[in-house]
A and B are shown apart, each in its own frame.
Chain A
Amino acid sequence: MPQRQSSENIESSVDVLDIQIPMYHVILYNDDYTTFEFVIGVLITVFRKSEQDAVRITRSVHERGKGIAGTYPLEVAQMKVSQVHQMAENAGFPLRAGIES
């Protein structure tokens, strides 16, 4: 869970300590039907990875069952997940993405 480092003080002099920004990983899960190429495509398009990184992550998904596609604040992470699902559905693949902290 995200940890707050600032005090509970409601005075305006709280600016000394910054509030930690909770970030979340977007995970891509392996399945038996989604192709290698498609996952690479998704990583490049949705997550703006370089081709090298995309290949690396896809290999991780393939070999270890999952891979971290990117790390974002929750709102953005949720958007990315639905984007992946949308793209997969359009292309006819059952690729699933998820969020882990």
Chain B
Amino acid sequence: MEPHHLEALLEDARREAISRRHYYVTTEHLFFVLLKTTEVRNALKELGVSTDFLSNQLERFFDQALEKAGANESEDCLAVPTDNFNTLNTRVLLQALNSARPFPREIDFLIALSADNDPYISALFKAVGLKSLDLMRWAAENPVHNSLNNEKYDDSKNEEDDDIEDDKDDEDPDEDAFFESEDDEEYNENGDNRSLAFSRVKEYLTRLVALAKAGKIDPVVGRDKEIDTCCQALLRRTKCNVLIIGEAGVGKTAIVEGLARRIAFDCVPDDLMGAEIYAIDIPSLMAGTKFRGEMESRLKAIIRYVKKKQKAILFIDELHSAAGSEKATGSQEILALLKPELAKGSLRLIGTTTYDDYRRVLASDSALMRRFHKLDIEEPDEELTRQILHEIAGRYEAFHKIRYEKQAIDDAVRLSGRFLPERRFPDKAIDIIDEAGAANRMKPVGEQLAVIDVPQIEAIVANVARIPDLHVSNDESLLLQNAEDKMKEVIFGQNAAIESVIRLVKLSRAGLRAPQKPIACFLFTGPTGVGKTEVAKQLASVLRLPFVRFDMSEYREEYTVSKFIGSAPGYVGYERGGLLTEAIRAKPNCVLLLDEIEKAHSSIYDLLLQVMDVAKLTDNTGKTADFRNVILIMTSNAGGEEMGRVKIGFGHEMDVTQGEKEIEKTFSPEFRNRLDEIIMFNALTQDSMILIVKRMIRELEGQLSEKNVHLSIEEDALKWLAQKGFDPKFGARPMARLIQNKISVPLSEIILFGDIKDGGNISISMNDKDDDLVLTKV
């Protein structure tokens, strides 16, 4: 006996006691239910003992000897197992263990009963002349077979499973009648307790046509052709199974629901009229199965049930999950259990899956897959999605208690199409209107709207796609207005560059840019240390955008490209994904800075070509990163050296043309072609140096603000610094070094060891000899 049979046996004894409203469940109850098992019946028949007599006597016992509870007493106080009952069962189990068999048989229980001391039980045995020895001998002569399908069955009591013609239940739509006809014999050839599994069958199945009739299924729009194909496949004589394949969110389950609706409203051919679609809920099927084989018996019960109903169709959503995995043990493959039925053609099954999962899990089993008619579901276009949304908007309106403007729905479709490229219609559009309704309800009651219009939809899309509001809000335009000035306050001598950048950003924000490109692509060139990286940083800060920086000197080698977009499958780090694609996916709206681009390997340039053209980058797993809201800035020192050289004879003008030639040499034409602008940064002039010095002093002061120290610098000291630290070839970096040496170092001495602990003013001025700075406390 399998363990769940054992459990079932004891459970039945208990149920017997409960149904008779006995306070206790005794060994007599166990005897009674044993007399119904096939094994015991066979044994007694062979031994010439009347099962009926024993049953009748036991019934009499139940009636006369045991107290019955009143109708008002709860079930909890019924069927308490007596000590004798427990002892007997323990004895049987131990006996089985000792004989190295995993579980006892029904006959073992009978043997134990025959040896029990209870006077009544022994009286019964004696009355029919049954001795323990006889039973033990029978058990030895009739060993149990080691398979689930025990061949020993009782002819007189069992129906053939497959004889559907004999079954009078065919036309009977009432499901309870089905159960009643099975109640008479509770154990089939396996010793399964059929009624146990059967009574639970309904828990695992959902009847879709019944739901459709109750109006609980949304109408399905625009999938008539697909539903027709589905119907047709189901009407076939053999291989009447359908596998619906499509991307996530395109409406695969909707096809089945549409079919259910059609059947509910009788818009189907005769053969499908009155059919029922049973959706199997796999998690609940597997829940609570403690023993191996319990899930199989549940599934078998379901299959029996469905087959008896002539016009039943099974539906399994996410069919690949029923196929198990390499790790799953054999007992967990639901699909494998269904295979024989599918092969015979006795079962009609509809399954859904996605392309990926199909390829990964199902395609390898071609023998199975050939029994399915494959139905491809395409993503609906915008027009069809609009129709779908208008059709089902009513349901969402009723649920959220609002109304959707027609324009709002159309915009939901349009905007989700534009800004949510990773997801599919109609799922993403439906999501937007649902989300809008929910967002409305989140607001305090006073602020809730009665009608959802375009602005709300835009806000939702912006939120979901993580980009700034789609119509430039007041805050944003304010930021842009001041951006230019703010940047000029901090970066000196590069006004032309700043203006170019801001110009293009404004263009993009106004919506006048080609939609399939990044916001802007710049190449900053010029001598070193003039503020190229700084401009990018300040741009991000002023526009309140995240700042993503990659230093291209790390990407000199060819293999480092895989750092950007992720390694190929099979290589280390495949799961981690690419740095660039992940960064953009996390922050789709940012300033992306690629520093020192000329140091990168040429493969990187090839990647960037794509980015600048169509604003898409595909990573190693095939997913795309969307660059449409990225400001791409690349910096380069190419030509910087040349530009640092002052042209002979023309004063301080820079050698621009030479620099340009250098740039042309470094970057290929197709690369340069895709840039919006190549911005040349000027070398720093003396005037800008003065401003830079002032700024650096200010920053220094900022660092000291906690200590309440103020710095002031004299005019001549300023000029001296500007002059000393200026080198057109090296930009502003020598200045930083100079200030550190001449000011920060002495300052640190004063702060640490001087008497400035409570704050004070320090003045920076020239010393007497005019060749160095001196710091004095004021």
A→B interface (CB under 8 Å): 2, 4, 6, 8-12, 14-15, 18-23, 48, 72-76, 78-79, 82
Contacts and interface: CB of A to CB of B under 8 A. Distances in A.
Given A10-B128, A14-B128, A82-B83, A74 B120 contact: yes
Nearest to B117: A74
B67 interface: yes
B150 interface: no
Given A73-B61, A79-B82, A12 B53 contact: yes
Contacts of A75: 24, 26-28, 82, 84-85, 118
A76 B61 contact: no
B123 interface: yes
14 contacts: A2-B120, A4-B126, A8-B126, A11-B50, A15-B56, A18-B57, A19-B57, A22-B119, A22-B120, A73-B61, A73-B118, A76-B26, A76-B65, A76-B66
Interface in B123-161: 123-124, 126-129
A21 B58 CA distance: 10
Nearest to B60: A18
B381 interface: no
Contacts of A8: 126-127, 129
A70 B53 CA distance: 29
B68 to A, nearest CB: 11
B52 interface: yes
A14 B53 contact: yes
Interface in B91-129: 118-120, 123-124, 126-129
A76 to B, nearest CB: 6
B48 A10 contact: yes
Contacts of B119: 2, 22, 74
Nearest to A4: B123
In the A-B complex, the 4 residue pairs with the smallest Cβ-Cβ separation, listed nearest first, are A12-B50, A10-B129, A75-B84, A22-B119
Contacts of B27: 75
Interface string B40-57: 000000001110110011
A78 B61 CA distance: 17
Contacts of A10: 48-49, 128-129
Given A14-B127, A22-B119, A75-B24, 5 more contacts: A2-B120, A10-B129, A12-B53, A75-B26, A76-B66
Q: Which of A6, A8, A72, A76 has the most CB of B within 10 A?
A: A76
A79 B24 contact: yes
B53 A22 contact: no
B64 interface: yes
A20 to B, nearest CB: 7
A20 B67 CA distance: 17
A73 B67 contact: no
Interface string B548-589: 000000000000000000000000000000000000000000
B725 to A, nearest CB: 95
Contact of B52 (A2, A12, A74, A79): A12
B123 A22 contact: yes
Interface residues of B, number: 31
Interface string B678-695: 000000000000000000
A48 to B, nearest CB: 7
Contacts, number: 81
A10 B130 CA distance: 8
Interface of B: 24, 26-28, 48-50, 52-53, 56-57, 60-61, 64-67, 80, 82-85, 118-120, 123-124, 126-129
A35 to B, nearest CB: 26
B82 A76 contact: yes
Contact of B50 (A6, A14, A21, A22): A14
A5 B549 CA distance: 101
A23 B65 contact: yes
Q: Which of A11, A12, A73 has the most CB of B within 10 A?
A: A73
A95 B145 CA distance: 53
A76 B22 CA distance: 11
A8 to B, nearest CB: 7
B65 A73 contact: yes
B368 to A, nearest CB: 52
A48 B73 CA distance: 12
Contacts of A6: 127
A79 B84 CA distance: 8
Contact of A78 (B48, B64, B67, B84): B84
Given A14-B53, A75-B27, A76-B24, A2 B129 contact: no
Nearest to B124: A19
B275 to A, nearest CB: 49
B82 A21 contact: no
Contacts of B60: 18, 21
B66 A73 contact: yes
Contacts of A74: 118-120
A55 to B, nearest CB: 21
Contacts of B61: 21, 73
B64 A21 contact: yes
Contacts of B53: 12, 14-15
Nearest to B24: A76
A38 B57 CA distance: 38
Contacts of B52: 12, 15
A14 B49 CA distance: 10
Contacts of A14: 50, 53, 127-128
A45 to B, nearest CB: 11
A36 to B, nearest CB: 25
A48 B68 CA distance: 11
Contact of B127 (A4, A23, A48, A73): A4
B120 A48 contact: no
A71 to B, nearest CB: 9
A79 B83 contact: yes
A42 to B, nearest CB: 16
A79 B60 CA distance: 21
A70 to B, nearest CB: 9
A2 B53 CA distance: 20
A12 B48 CA distance: 8
A11 B67 CA distance: 32
A15 B124 CA distance: 12
Nearest to A22: B119
Nearest to A77: B82
Contacts of A72: 65, 67
Contacts of A79: 24, 80, 82-84
Q: Which of B27, B49, B120, B129 has the most CB of A within 10 A?
A: B120
Contacts of B123: 2, 4, 19-20, 22
A20 B65 CA distance: 11
B52 to A, nearest CB: 7
A8 B126 CA distance: 8
Contacts of A21: 60-61, 64-65, 120
A78 B128 contact: no
B113 to A, nearest CB: 12
B45 to A, nearest CB: 10
A100 to B, nearest CB: 14
